[in-house]
Amino acid sequence: MLAEEKYWGLFIPLIVAAIAVAILRMDLLLTAVAFLTPLSTSLKELGVHNPIGVEMALPTEPLLFGLMIIAWVKMLSDSELFKGLYKHPISIAIGLYVLWLLITSISSSMPLVSFKLLLTRLWFISSFYVLGFVWFQDRENIHRFVKAYLAGLCVVVCYTILQHSMRGFEHEAAHWVMSPFFKDHTSYGMVLALLLPFSFYLRKWESEKGLNFIFPSIVVLLITAIVLSYTRAAWLSLVGALCVYVVMKLRIRFSLLVTITSLFAAFILMFQTDILMVLEKNSQDSSDSFTEHIQSMSNVSTDASNLERINRWTSALRLFEERPHLGWGAGTYQFNYAPYQNYYEKTIISTNSGSKGNAHSEYLSALAETGWPGLLFFCGLIAVIFHRAIVLYPKLEDKQDQWLIMSCILGLVTYFTHAVLNNFLDTDKASVPLWAMVAIIVVLDLKYQRKIKA
Distance of alpha carbon 242 from alpha carbon 119, whole angstroms:
34
pLDDT band at 48 (very low <50, low <70, confident <90, very high): low
Which pLDDT belongs to residue 448? 93
DSSP 88: S
pLDDT the model gives residue 52: 47
Find, among 337, 119, 366, the residue nearest to 111 by Cα.
119
Q: 426 vs 24, which has greater pLDDT?
A: 426
Give the chain's count of helices (H) and strands (E): 18, 2
Please determine, for residue 18, whether its predicted confidence score (pLDDT) is greater than 60: yes
**Residue 350 belongs to some domain of the structure:** no
Give the pLDDT score at 273.
Answer: 62
- Percent of the chain clearing pLDDT 70 (strictly above): 87
In one-letter notation, the amino acid at residue 241 is A
Least confidently predicted of 53-62, 178-187, 236-245: 53-62
Q: For residue 33, tell me if it sits in a domain.
A: yes
Residue range(s) defining the domain that contains residue 23: 7-48+56-257+356-453
pLDDT at residue 279 greater than cutoff 70: no
Split into its structural domains, the chain has a count of 1
Does residue 301 fall inside a structural domain?
Answer: no
Q: What is the pLDDT of residue 11?
A: 76
Rounded distance between C-alpha atoms, residue 441 and residue 352, angstroms: 43
190 assigned to some structural domain: yes
Residue at 279 is within a domain: no
Does residue 329 belong to any structural domain of this protein?
no
3-state helix, strand, coil in the chain (%, to 5): 70, 0, 30
pTM above 0.85, yes or no: yes
Average pLDDT over residues 157-179: 91
- Is residue 278 in some structural domain? no
* β-bridge partners, 58: 41
**How confident is residue 307, by pLDDT bands cut at 50, 70 and 90?**
confident
Amino acid at 313: W
pLDDT category, 297, cuts 50, 70, 90? low
Q: Which amino acid is at 148?
A: A
Containing 10, the helix (H) or strand (E) segment is: none
pLDDT averaged over the chain? 86
Q: What angle do CA 19, 23, 26 make, to 5 degrees?
A: 100
- Contact between 406 and 248 under an 8 Å Cβ cutoff? The reply is yes
Q: Look at residue 288 and tell me if it is in a domain.
A: no
What type of residue is 86? Y
